[in-house]
């Protein structure tokens, strides 16, 4: 099984088994940061698989649309992996815990824009 197929299987299993918690803001850095740390580590339990899948999906979309963002475009060098993108965002967010209540994607775009400005 390829790595992508294995990851896809984890995502499908996670979505099927993920508990719904109304009080949890799944769009915040508070939720996403631990999930993305687990994604980067490559070791997830079934309970962590939902968050890892969401993180994987967020970075997949960001990699695809980053250069087309109107105000905060970023241009990834060739061969930058999703894991490397996640590491850059994690490092940036760890310096700003006061912003973890904010939208994760917005914070990630900001970090990637600064790390990979378009020329």
Q: Take residue 82 and report the two structure tokens written for it.
A: 């999703």
Residue 114 in this model has a pLDDT that exceeds 70: yes
> Looking at residue 25, what is its pLDDT?
82
In whole angstroms, what is the distance from residue 29 CA to residue 96 CA? 10
Mean pLDDT value across residues 1-5: 49
- List, for residues 50-60, the tens digit of each pLDDT value: 999 999 999 99
pLDDT tens column, 7-18: 443 444 344 444
pLDDT given at position 91: 97
Domain boundaries along the sequence of the chain = 3-17+26-115
Tell how far CA 117 is from the center of its chain.
19
């Amino acid at each position: 099984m390829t790595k992508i197929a294995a990851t896809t299987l984890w995502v499908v299993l996670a979505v099927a088994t993920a508990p719904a918690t109304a009080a949890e803001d799944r769009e915040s850095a508070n939720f996403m940061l631990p999930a993305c740390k687990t994604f980067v580590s490559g070791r997830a339990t079934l309970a962590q698989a939902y968050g890892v899948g969401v993180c994987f999906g967020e970075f997949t979309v960001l990699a695809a649309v980053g250069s087309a963002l109107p105000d905060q475009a970023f241009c990834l060098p060739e061969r930058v992996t999703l894991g490397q993108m996640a590491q850059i965002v994690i490092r940036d967010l760890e310096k700003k815990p006061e912003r973890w209540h904010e939208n994760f994607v917005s914070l990630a775009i900001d970090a990637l824009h600064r790390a990979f400005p378009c020329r």
